[in-house]
A and B are shown apart, each in its own frame.
Chain A
Amino acid sequence: MKLIFERHKSGRRGFSYALPDVPQAKPLAKQYCRKNDTLLPSLSELDVVRHYTNLSRLNFSVDTNFYPLGSCTMKYNPKFTERIVAFEGFAQVHPLLPQLSGGGMLAQGSLEVLYETEKLLAEITGMNAFTMQPLAGAHGELTGIMLIAAYHKDNGARRKYVIVPDSSHGTNPASAAIAGYKVIVIPTDKDGYMDLEEYKKKLNNEVAAVMLTCPDTLGIFNPNIKRIADMAHEAGALMYYDGANLNALLGKARPGDLGFDVMHINLHKTFATPHGGGGPGGGPVGVSEKLVDFLPIPRVVKRVDGTLALDYHRHKSIGYVAPFYGNFGVILKAYAYMLYLGKAGLIQAAEIAVLNANYCLASLKEYFAPAFDKKCMHECVFSASRQVKNGVHALDIAKYLIDKGYHPPTIYFPLIVKEALMIEPTETESKETLDEFIAVMIEIARLAEENPSCVTQAPIHTPVKRLDETKAAREPNLRWQP
């Protein structure tokens, strides 16, 4: 498709402002002004709408395609929450309004959303309190690690290391490193768990935190989790829970009860807010009691008269991690989703998510090698190792699925599984959808044996065929040039 800039025609306008009702001011001195106008395109409103509508049609999305992208929880995004965030009383409130003198009373509705969401998340996870500020999961990780650093500093301890298993999300070590820690990586044992012997060896009084995903990225629940936590605590380290996979545990286990001290939640995963093509997300961070004092300011607090207010007077707080109170629009959608599902709905979400993943695992394990031969939680991981013998790689399988109208699973992650295919169907997909997907996967397994080139040449029905990623990286073309 043409670029929006290639549709430019001088003289067109897509939007006009009313003639100003004030006099033109004296022009600014030249030194303050831009030399040339921008090269923004001039187009009619229809030009713009048609261009982006047609672009949208080149995407796979949850509403148009099954999207079993592992670790991303691409469940259905309710439509009614979109309507709620557009309410004028939510969309048009300036974030500084409650910071004006007497302004707190002007934003009681939004403050209540924040306050109540925090309470619900705390009960769901067994944590003591949440900050809603972090703007995405990785942002929550960074916040969590900073809270841990503040805690140790407050206790006069200088700790240098953060432990992560080699199966962890890339964001875990990256967040720890950016917060100033050195990362220790623990290998995975033959059963798919973090190697306890190695862990014992590496754990000492210089370790600040242990970051874990549970269920882990292999989709399995580590029954030793409490032991791992106890050992960390004995060494004076804190436990960090990466909430990417929380969907599997709703009502089944709570990170707080498992011994975690800090955690983040990806609202756009477990709580069904749209992924938006890569964001915005929401990454609230929950903490156990000993870390509450360090949470970012302001905190939303209830006053004696029942009204809500912003509390800035917390001298141990780490400060601000976002300009205001988090991605409010995202938090609001997650709140509406929780109210709609309620207790039974949340528990059922976890149950059916796990059922769907195990159904895929059971139906496909004859054809693809499971990473570990045991029941899974909300996602199942295969290796394309059998197919590779015939020259069909995980990437080829992904591309063939695209031709068949499926968004591929996550591939080549976790890094510890060769040729990994990580399938997370989520609870909102029906048995029919799964059966059709499974049939295509089985067809791929057969083609890999009988006619591998058929798979390795995919995709052929897409707007573009396989793209030259090497060229993209070697000769970066990152913007349109006239």
Chain B
Amino acid sequence: MSYIPHTEDDIRQMLKTIGVAGIDDLFKDIPSELRPKSFNIPEGKSEFEVTQHLRKLSAKNATHLVNFVGAGFYDHFIPAAVDAIAARPEFYTAYTPYQPECSQGWLQAIYEYQTIICELTGLDVANASLYDGGTALYEAAMMALRLTGRNKIIMDSGVSLIYRTMLYTYTSNLSIEFVEIPVVHGQSSREELFKHLDDKTAAVILQNPNFFGAIDDYSDVVSRVHKFGALAVASVYPVSLGMLKPPGEMGFDIATGEGQSLGLPLSFGGPYLGFMSVKKEIVRSMPGRIVGATVDSDGKRGFVLTLQTREQHIRREKATSNICSNEALCALRAVVFAALLGRGGLKELAEHNYWKAEFAKKTLARIPDVEVKSSSPTFNEFTICLKRPADEVVYKMIDKGFACGFPLGRFYKGMDNYILVAVTEKRTREEICLLADSLEAVLR
């Protein structure tokens, strides 16, 4: 099967124009000894056959479980209009808007997306997107190293372990000193953090809400960080910013995060959306594409990719980052999602998440042998402690039809009996009560 429109006659005429006898003549530069040693690929199938095959595979995945797993990636409802706009081929079959006159739709949409990210995070400028929340955090760390010329990074262990692991992977060939601050009672320990903060520190990285769902106001930490000339970097959850104090209000220099919650399906880990916003003083050190407004030769407003002298296609080995493709279509989903919800809708979404999680907290706390561990306020996720290994309980809960949460022992030493439970607006009172009943039955 193929999407090739050529008739045999077309091919003959084209070969004649080129002046060769056959298509093989066009591959003469590849010496015969360099031809494939094998090419054992199955023969093509019809669209129907491939679709059926993949439908069968999709049915091997569990979709019946009521989902209370979050850990940075959340099961939110996606309005149909988001899918409809992202399915416009004029958006999804275009590429990076290098030629502004025939890409104004994309450029304006990205400009609007950048504005939304600034509004959510309370910072001045945002880029056109990065791959995911983890690579965005890595880029933020690299930015801090460049801006300060220092090489020490302090990272709270309330930052997702997935992101911390990614950061270590990316920097393993560079000489960077990392200090991890332990979490005490689910919250970042200022005492420990301040002990390590010094004038060699390039950045302090925090997450809000942190991996355990705990909310904090880091304003005090940020002003202390600035006294040492370091940058404060926050990894944030955009839905929570409908109600929580944004990083900009706390004084952070850079905010990053995973935008999946803004209208992207969970889709087994991607495509997702890394976002980044920064204070305007440091915009020229920000990685990634940036769209700016300008005027055309008639003075009419238009949009272009701008500040490109930071980028790899101009600066090559001196670029701020190697990024080329980003996650534009995911950014489009985010801006459409945010525009549909509007200021009122986003606040409502955040509140529903908060209320449902609080309800779940209370409901689960009534179960004997379940202790709700969060001493500080939480947003839509919290930890419970059991008297038995969490792994075993999670396993048994799957049989009851629940993905009841993420067992923390895999990520944190000494937390084998802990489960991280996420409750989004999609979870009903009934589901929450059933979760509690089933958990009680499993623990009995």
Contact = CB atoms under 8 A, between A and B. Distances in A.
Q: Do chains A and B interact in one complex?
A: yes
A367 interface: no
Nearest to B95: A275
A170 to B, nearest CB: 4
A63 B93 contact: yes
A278 B43 contact: no
A321 B168 CA distance: 10
A408 interface: yes
Interface stretch (A104-112, A285-293, A385-393, A439-447): A104-112
B62 interface: yes
Given A22-B432, A59-B106, A174-B312, A93 B91 contact: no
Given A93-B61, A93-B63, 4 more contacts: A28-B377, A51-B339, A96-B73, A278-B96
A88 interface: yes
29 contacts: A16-B345, A28-B215, A33-B243, A34-B245, A38-B346, A40-B116, A54-B105, A60-B99, A72-B95, A94-B73, A96-B406, A97-B69, A146-B173, A170-B316, A173-B316, A178-B322, A180-B173, A221-B30, A226-B31, A278-B325, A322-B131, A336-B51, A340-B50, A344-B44, A351-B27, A352-B4, A431-B6, A469-B294, A469-B304
Contacts of A251: 36, 39
Given A28-B215, A96-B406, A138 B325 contact: yes
B327 interface: yes
A325 to B, nearest CB: 5
Going nearest first, the 10 A-B pairs with the smallest beta carbon separation are A342-B44, A324-B269, A89-B58, A276-B329, A319-B169, A280-B271, A95-B269, A109-B60, A25-B358, A278-B328
Contact of A480 (B15, B67, B112): B112
A324 B270 contact: yes
A149 interface: yes
A139 B4 contact: no
Interface in A38-75: 38-43, 45, 48-49, 51-65, 67, 69, 72, 74-75
| Residue in A52, A225, A275, A402 with the greatest tally of chain B CB atoms within 10 Å | A52
Interface in A347-377: 347-349, 351-352, 354-356, 358-359, 361-363, 375, 377
Contacts of B69: 94, 96-97, 100
Interface stretch (B182-190, B197-205, B227-235, B390-398): B390-398
Contacts of B87: 82
B147 interface: no
A17 B26 contact: no
Contacts, number: 707
Interface string A116-135: 00001001101000000001
A78 B46 CA distance: 12
B265 A92 contact: yes
Contact of A330 (B28, B97, B271, B297): B271
A3 interface: yes
Nearest to B120: A38
A258 B324 CA distance: 27
Nearest to A251: B39
B269 A4 contact: no
A362 B135 CA distance: 44
Contacts of B301: 464
A143 to B, nearest CB: 9
Interface stretch (B150-158, B348-356, B366-374, B435-443): B348-356
A5 B115 contact: yes
A348 B51 CA distance: 22
A304 interface: no
Interface in A269-316: 272, 274-281, 296
A41 B1 CA distance: 46
A-side interface size class: 35 or more
Contacts of A463: 101, 104, 302
Contact of A177 (B34, B114, B298, B318): B318
Given A43-B342, A341-B2, A77 B318 contact: no
A174 B56 CA distance: 42
B306 A362 contact: no
B267 A85 contact: yes
Contact of A362 (B18, B125, B302, B425): B18
B35 to A, nearest CB: 6
Interface in A80-94: 80, 82-94
Nearest to B116: A40
Given A59-B105, A362-B18, A321 B91 contact: no
Nearest to B54: A84
B2 A137 contact: no
Contact of A280 (B77, B170, B270, B297): B270
Contacts of B425: 17
A478 B93 contact: no
Contacts of A200: none
B17 A363 contact: yes
Contact of A56 (B67, B88, B428): B88
Interface string B205-219: 000000000011100
A31 interface: yes
A227 to B, nearest CB: 11
Contact of A43 (B44, B302, B335, B339): B339
A330 B264 CA distance: 14
Contacts of A354: 23, 26-27
A248 B79 CA distance: 40
Nearest to A224: B31
A268 to B, nearest CB: 7
Contact of A342 (B38, B41, B307, B324): B41
Given A277-B332, A349-B2, A427-B4, A320 B65 contact: no
B39 A170 contact: no
A417 interface: no
Contacts of A453: none
A190 interface: no
A146 B172 contact: yes
Contacts of A402: 99, 101-102
B109 A55 contact: yes
A451 interface: no
Nearest to B60: A109
B301 to A, nearest CB: 8
Interface string B133-159: 111000000100000000000000000
| Residue in A32, A251, A347 with the greatest tally of chain B CB atoms within 10 Å | A32
Contacts of B415: none
Given A279-B328, A296-B169, A320-B166, A88 B269 contact: no
